[in-house]
Each structure stands twice: as structure tokens, then as C-alpha cells.
Amino acid sequence: MQTLFIKTPVTVEAHAAVVGKKEGEGPLRDCFDLVAEDIFFGENTFEKAESKFVSQAINLTLKKAGLKPDAIDLLFGGDLLNQCIGTSYGIRSFEIPFLGLYGACSTMAESLALASVTLSCGQISRAIAVTSSHYYSAERQYRFPIEYGGQRPPTAQWTVSGSGAVLLKNGGRGVRVTSVTIGKMLDFGITDANNMGPAMAPAFVDTLKTHLKDTHRKVSDYDLILSGDLGSFGMEMARELAKDEGIFLGENYADCGCLMFDLKRQDVHAGGSGCGCSATVFCGAILPELESGKYRRVLLISTGALMSPTAIQQGESICGIAHAVCFEGE
């Protein structure tokens, strides 16, 4: 069984989303707690700016909960940068026990899943799940520095600059995590670093199918099924692949990468991506709707392309992975 049921109440105590300027000009502009004035966010490198997104997201989350860092038992987090430095330097000053994760853009669901499972054991009180990404730090690491001015193909996605943090609590009332489904790594032979959607779509469908089977539910049992960042091409592919499995994704299916930007107006091609994409969209736009009661049950499936420039240079293909976390309102 790939699905773990969270049987004791694990609830969302607070959350925050901090994003970059471009994200703050998109359709979700009013959903974020803080929008950076520019891509450097007051720092002198892109990587340090990314770490500042992380520290600000955690600071705001703690502030909303009225807590200090020493009230947090564990922090689960990761990002796209080599050695996950976005997270490690972002959390350094808090001195919270830390478990570093790497699941590419699936890391937000991975963090939430592991935090929920660990909390459900009943020995700790509070855990934070946090992830981040940054357009400039990611592009120069995975593809080309932006200053190079490379042409972006239509399938390219725009790495979201930002960080989202969720503070989960053992017990309490409010929005709960009720189950998590851990995905398998799937390799469909994609080798184009500018075409991540199709590398991740099969993993999304596999995890969705497994989650529905394990929970004996159907698509209509969810107010919203949310993929992490498949983008417009990946989303269409996901619908097709799901249909082949007898799963019909209708109006209640959306993708964080497509929600984040105005695809026509903002020149982001196939949509948003990055560990920060599902983190900021979920924390900024979706969790409040669960808290308000507009949504009763939401399935977040963050999707990751385990893409490595070194591996691609050595002729390897890009594996996809997806993890699912089910949230339910009171």
C-alpha cells in the first residue's frame, strides 16, 4: 500500500507564501503574504535571495501562529539548488531540527507527507514543511544563465521565485491532513530539459490512480485535484493519460503552474514550475479556501522531474515522481 492514512488529527496551524515580483503580478497577486520588490530581494546573489524567500516564509508562518522557532520540533524542507542551499541557508538562523529532502518540484508534497506521518506518531507537537525556488538561480544551474538570452521553446516552464511554508500541528482543529500517497519514480525516456511536463505527467497519473484505489474514492470525491507544476502541455498529457486509465479529470482538476501566471499575458510559455510553485500556490491560494470552507477536500499532488544536467550530458533520461497529500476541512 503506497497510501498512509493519518489517523490522529494533524492540522494546519499557519502558513505563508512569499513570492517574487513577476508572481506578484499574476492572477494570484492578492493571495500572497509578501511580494519581493525585485529578483534580488535585497540580497546580492540569486541564491541568497532564494534563501531569503525561505526565511521570510518561515518568519511569517511563525508570526501568524504567535510562536518562536523553539516551539517547532522538526523542519522538513528542500529546494532545487545543488546541495539544497536555498533551504539550508534560509533556515540556518532558526536552529530547528532539520530533515533535508530532495524530490525536485515534488518536494512540497514530500515535506508535507513526511511531516504529517511523523506528527501522527504522537511524539512531537509541531513541524514545518517548506520549499523554495528562484527563476534566476534555477535557470543558470539547470539550463543557461538568463543573461545569455537563450530562446525558450513553447514547452519551457517558468521557475517560480518564492517559498511557501506550512506549520502542521499534532491535534487541534481546522484543516487536516488525512492521507498521503508516496509515488514511484517513472522514466518515460524524456531527455529535453525544456520539456518537463511530459516527464512528470505519467508520475502524476500513477500516483493519482494509486491514491484513488487505496482510498476507494473517485475524482468527484474531491473539490479540487491539484497537480504541482505540469504546465499547460503536461496538464493536457495528464488528462489523456488519466483517461487511458479510466480516470476522467474534469472541472475540479487544476495545475499550480497554470494557476500562478497568466499564460497569455506574462510570457511564461507553458506555465510555472519549481519547488516554490506548488508551495506558494497551495499556501497562498488553496489553503485559505479550505479554511473558509469553500473546499472540503483537496488533493495536492506535487510533481517532480529528477532532472540533472550531468546525467543528461551522459545520455540519461529524466525520471518523474509525484507524491499526493489529501487535505480536508472541518
Q: Please give the DSSP secondary-structure letter assigned to residue 218.
A: -
Q: If binding is defined by CB under 8 A, does position 182 make contact with a second copy? A: yes
186 or 249, CB closer to a second copy? 186
- In 3D space, the residue among 100, 98, 94 whose CA is nearest the CA of residue 70 turns out to be 94
Q: If binding is defined by CB under 8 A, does position 266 make contact with a second copy? A: no
CA-CA distance, 72 to 167, in Å (whole number)?
Answer: 9
Q: If binding is defined by CB under 8 A, does position 319 make contact with a second copy? A: yes
Instruction: Report, in Å, the least distance between residue 166 CB and a second copy.
Output: 18
Instruction: Report, in Å, the least distance between residue 28 CB and a second copy.
Output: 28
Residue 249 · residue 224 · CB < 8 Å: no
Q: If binding is defined by CB under 8 A, does position 216 make contact with a second copy? A: no
Residue 108 · residue 132 · CB < 8 Å: no
Instruction: Report, in Å, the least distance between residue 148 CB and a second copy.
Output: 17
Half-sphere exposure for 320 (CA within 13 Å, toward CB):
30
Residues 95-154 that bind a second copy (CB under 8 A): 95-104, 110, 113-114, 117-118, 120-121, 123-124
Q: If binding is defined by CB under 8 A, does position 184 make contact with a second copy? A: yes
CA-CA distance, 114 to 104, in Å (whole number)?
Answer: 15
Residue 91 · residue 303 · CB < 8 Å: no
Instruction: Report, in Å, the least distance between residue 37 CB and a second copy.
Output: 21
Q: Which of 29, 42, 45, 145 is in the footprint of a second copy by CB under 8 A? A: 45
Bridge partners, 133 (sequence order): 162
Count of residues near a second copy by CB under 8 A: 55
133 or 232, CB closer to a second copy? 133
Q: Where are the alpha helices (DSSP H) in 216-323?
A: 231-244, 256-260, 275-281, 287-292, 309-313
Q: Which of 78, 164, 271, 276 is in the footprint of a second copy by CB under 8 A? A: 78
Q: If binding is defined by CB under 8 A, does position 248 make contact with a second copy? A: no
Q: If binding is defined by CB under 8 A, does position 183 make contact with a second copy? A: yes
Instruction: Report, in Å, the least distance between residue 121 CB and a second copy.
Output: 6
CA-CA distance, 173 to 150, in Å (whole number)?
Answer: 49
* Three-class secondary structure of residue 30 per DSSP: helix
- In 3D space, the residue among 42, 263, 21 whose CA is nearest the CA of residue 158 turns out to be 263
What residues make contact with a second copy under the rule CB under 8 A? 1-2, 4-5, 45, 47-48, 73-74, 78, 81-85, 88-89, 91-92, 95-104, 110, 113-114, 117-118, 120-121, 123-124, 182-187, 306-311, 314, 316, 319, 321, 323
